[in-house]
Structure 1
């Protein structure tokens, strides 16, 4: 994984969401933390082109997120804060297959890939279920399966443990730990990211801390304290 920001920033009208910054991200597991409205989600969305930089540029493995947008999105999967909104088709198996079918792959290839990803996450028993029938943890796994079946190198997750009970949270945490793909996680769940390789903290639109999770969490607690 080679993510590079070159004086890249983002504004929405008169509001600066992310101040221009230059940095390189190569670690396998990176956490992104900060208060609500700090710019962390905008920063993450700049990585796969969901938000275009208004200054500078962002590259993923040498590909520009604006000029090479389609290729970038094939390498970077994004799982939104509410995974239920990400599942488009009513039946889970059909939804997982959708990303492959848009590539016009042979039916047998699609079927094999879907079966393999269901088995990888141990959710074969959910294949015929509807999204509204799934628990919070099952929805996260379903969203992961739908993204990872297309084999991105990098996956970004926005608050993957938000509103999960302890059992589902533990299930998602274990799954993230075992992923082979490079992972960036936006989270307020500090325990989830304690063993990550690197952490970034955003505050009022700027990168305010960058280091080990222990170091960055300590800085975050200072600004989060009432």
Structure 2
């Protein structure tokens, strides 16, 4: 598995009259295949996840993926780290499903015919083969999320960061997307409010007020989070 290292990585943002701390300097080393991140809205959990591929830059410290500094070598890291957003609309930009996956493959496969074949294979593996030529706009919410994930996975990243990928989905589609995520060979960093889903992880980090409140086994982490919410 890849190693994701946060070395006193913190994030502040400018505000009128000074700065606001979004994430306190954090030191973590993530080596497990499936790492969950939970916390209340605004706790800093998405900021922590976005540091992994440079969507957010650390103000203090640094973040490394297999020893490669995200800030200094962002392009190289992003070739290894895929990112899936909460709303798939942020990622789906082409008219049809196959074209959207082809867009992900444009750098790795220059031949249009071969690229189309590869894209159709990716869709088939992700349960969307029969929708290859369908308009993206005709898909259900769950299918759109599956398509967004397919586009990310098409380039075979070593790490997938998924930021609340089931928040907008119903129960059936939450299960479909969850089963896809937990069936991957890639290292998964999963930000979620779904406590049933996070219990399937190998390790869970609880973030509260910009700090890591708890870091450990899933059941213990969920219990800690629920206790913090109740207090």
- Shorter-chain TM-score bucket reads over 0.9
- Any gaps of 5 or more consecutive residues in structure 2? none
Check the 8 A contact 1:8/1:58 in 2, yes or no: yes
Q: CA deviation at 1:165?
A: 1.5
**Over 2 Å off, 4+ runs:** 102-109
- What SS does the aligned partner of 1:217 have? helix
- TM-score, reference length from structure 1: 0.96
Query: Which one of the candidate residues 65, 69, 72 is aligned to 2:70?
Result: 65
Structure 2 partner of 1:119: 124
Q: Distance in 1 between matches of 2:164 and 2:206?
A: 15
Residues 205-224 of structure 1 aligned to structure 2 (within 5 Å): 205-224=210-229
- Any gaps of 5 or more consecutive residues in structure 1? none
Structure 2 partner of 1:10: 11
Q: Distance in 2 between matches of 1:106 and 1:132?
A: 27
Q: Distance in 1 between matches of 2:65 and 2:217?
A: 22
Kindly indicate whether residue 34 of structure 2 is the aligned counterpart of residue 29 of structure 1. Answer: yes
Check the 8 A contact 1:84/1:131 in 2, yes or no: no
Structure 1 partner of 2:104: 99
User: How many residues end up aligned between the 2 structures?
Assistant: 226
- TM-score, reference length from structure 2: 0.94
Query: Which one of the candidate residues 152, 155, 160 is aligned to 1:155?
Result: 160
Check the 8 A contact 2:87/2:168 in 1, yes or no: no
Cα deviation digits, residues 65-111 of structure 1 (max 9, x gap): 01110010011111111012210112111111112214562224322
Residues 137-176 of structure 1 aligned to structure 2 (within 5 Å): 137-176=142-181
- Cα RMSD, aligned residues only: 1.3
Structure 2 partner of 1:177: 182
Query: Which one of the candidate residues 14, 32, 44 is aligned to 1:39?
Result: 44
Query: Which one of the candidate residues 67, 83, 86 is aligned to 1:81?
Result: 86
Q: Distance in 2 between matches of 1:174 and 1:87?
A: 21
Check the 8 A contact 2:109/2:115 in 1, yes or no: no
Q: CA deviation at 1:193?
A: 1.3
Structure 1 partner of 2:141: 136
Query: Which one of the candidate residues 99, 105, 110 is aligned to 2:115?
Result: 110
Check the 8 A contact 2:121/2:129 in 1, yes or no: no
